[in-house]
Amino acid sequence: MPENRSETVYRQDIYRQDIRRVAVIGCGVIGASWASLVLAAGLDVTASDPAPGAEARLRATVAAQWPALEAIGLAPDASPERLRFVTGPEVAAADADFVQENGPERLDVKRETYARLDAAAAPDVVLATSSSGLKPSDIQGACRHPGRVVLGHPFNPPHLVPLVEVVGGSATDEGAVATAMAFYTRLGKRPIRLRRELTGHVANRLQAALWREAFHLVGTGAASVADIDAAIAHGPGLRWALMGPCLLNHLSGGPGGLAHTLDHLGPLMEAMWADLGEPRLTPELKQALVAGLADELAGRDEAAMLAERDALLIDLVRRKRGTRELP
């Protein structure tokens, strides 16, 4: 966070807290999902996307996602009718209490968009990016009010998966981060606060570590794509849906907890770390992965598979919301 600023900069209440209208900038897969979630929370959405046919696609997506949100639970005033579509980001940001941007993963486009959003939005409105790879420090330099720019990176699909990763850039005010954390919590999300900016943030880096070894095992012929997917989906993935790796290691240690696990299994962990692969996505490896996935999906109805996935995910999210002791 920036140094040598007055204490008032760090106060959350310099940023707008009574958030009723959210601007959703960019209405692709992520933006449309954000719009559905915000509407389900009983708030107004003003959306903007320059692509031809964007409004029709957005409204169709919201309608398709609404039954899932009804199953999870809607706010009393929730309605798809609270969605308004406008032609430019400035119009959407002008009357917004919070801005969630979901544009292309190109720094030049982000900076140009944020210059426009910053000029249009009131100075007490937080500007959040859903970027999965870019850092807020690289974006906020285009703004006259860089302190209100934060990263609010969701996990796809945002209307179902609670995680949001939040971090500020080098010029971000602490109050902007706190405001974003509070707002996402209000939406029913589970925000986590990153202590510093990282390429890929936290969750994608954890995924990347798993992907690296999975692709290495395919590339060396140690296991098929289907077997690797089964090893996760029918093994540790079931537990990972309930708790994270540190807590799982704690529970594995019995009365001794995490300390016992690290002492008992530490040498094995280090031996496996030393043996992990460092694959490169060569044409041959890409071909092997694609062919292996085709074999795994042979004879399956992908639309039905996605429907089953979403139904299970909805039920899991709903049940997890009712737990008291799981972190």
CA dist., res. 230 & res. 233, Å (int)? 5
Q: Is residue 327 part of a domain?
A: no
Give a yes or no: residue 2 inside a domain: no
Q: Give me the residues paired with residue 163 across strands.
A: 190
Tell me, yes or no, whether 57 and 155 share the same domain. yes
| Residue 166 · residue 193 · CB < 8 Å | yes
Q: How many domains does the chain have?
A: 2
Q: In this structure, are 166 and 41 located in the same domain?
A: yes
Q: Does residue 6 or residue 162 have the better pLDDT? A: 162
Q: Are residues 77 and 174 in the same domain?
A: yes
Q: State whether 189 and 207 are in the same domain.
A: no
- Residue 3 scores a pLDDT above 60: no
Looking at residue 316, which CATH number applies to its domain?
1.10.1040.10
Whether residues 117 and 93 share a domain: the answer is yes
Tell me what pLDDT residue 5 has: 40
Q: Is the pLDDT of residue 200 over 80?
A: yes
3-state secondary structure of 282: coil
* 42 neighbors 7 (Cβ within 8 angstroms): no
> What DSSP string describes 74-110?
--TT--GGGEEEESSHHHHHHT-SEEEE---S-HHHH
136 with 250, same domain: the answer is no
Q: What are the CA-CA distances from residue 3 to residues 7, 138, 151, 178, 327 (Å)?
A: 10, 18, 20, 17, 33
Residue 8: the pLDDT is 38
Pairing relation of β-strands 126-129 and 163-168?
Answer: unpaired
Is 34 part of a structural domain of the chain? yes
pLDDT surpasses 80 at 6: no
SS3 268: helix
Residue 318, pLDDT above cutoff 70 = yes
Query: Could you tell me the residue range of the domain that residue 224 belongs to?
Result: 203-321
Whether 74 and 167 share a structural domain: yes
Asked whether residue 116 carries a pLDDT value surpassing 90, the answer given is yes
Q: Which of 62, 82, 38 is nearest to 184 (CA)?
A: 38
Contact 132, 203 (CB under 8 A): no
Average pLDDT value for residue range 224-233: 98
Structure tokens, 237: 């993935």
Q: Look-up: residue for tokens 């790796």? A: 245
Query: Of 193, 223, 249, which marks where a domain is finished?
Result: 193
| CA atoms of 75 and 221, how far apart (whole Å) | 50
Region label for 168, one of left (φ > 0), alpha (ψ between -120 and 50) or beta (otherwise): beta
- Alpha carbons within 13 angstroms on the beta-carbon side of residue 179 total 30
pLDDT of residue 13: 66
| DSSP bridge partners of 84 | 46
pTM: 0.90
Rounded to whole angstroms, the Cα distance separating 11 from 224 reads 53
Q: Are residues 185 and 242 in the same domain?
A: no
User: What pLDDT digit, counting tens, does each position of 259-286 carry?
Assistant: 999 999 999 999 999 999 999 999 999 9
Asked if residue 9 has pLDDT above 90, the reply is no
Residue 12: predicted pLDDT: 55
Interval 210-221 mean pLDDT: 98
Q: Are residues 265 and 187 in the same domain?
A: no
Q: Return the percentage of the chain with pLDDT > 90, whole number.
A: 93
277 and 223 fall within a common domain: yes
pLDDT at 205 over 60: yes
**Residue 306 domain flag:** yes
- The answer to whether 88 touches 48, Cβ cutoff 8 Å, is yes
Q: Which among 193, 219, 237 is the end of a domain?
A: 193
Q: Are 121 and 127 in contact (CB under 8 A)?
A: yes
For residue 316, give both structure tokens. 């899991």
12-70 pLDDT, tens digit each: 568 999 999 999 999 999 999 999 999 999 999 999 999 999 999 999 999 999 999 99
Q: Is residue 177 situated within a structural domain?
A: yes
Per-residue pLDDT, averaged over 113-131, amounts to: 97
In a domain, 326, yes or no: no
242/188 same-domain check: no
Read off the pLDDT of each residue in 71-86 and give the average, rounded to a whole number: 96
Domain assignment of residue 55, yes or no: yes
Listed residues 193, 226, 256: the one ending a domain: 193
Q: Is residue 1 part of a domain?
A: no
Reference 172, options 131, 133, 129; nearest CA is: 129
DSSP class of residue 12?
A: G
Residue 80 shares a structural domain with residue 226: no
Backbone angles phi, psi at 183, to 5 degrees: -65, -45
The CATH number of the domain holding residue 66 is 3.40.50.720
Distance CA 139, CA 109 (A): 10
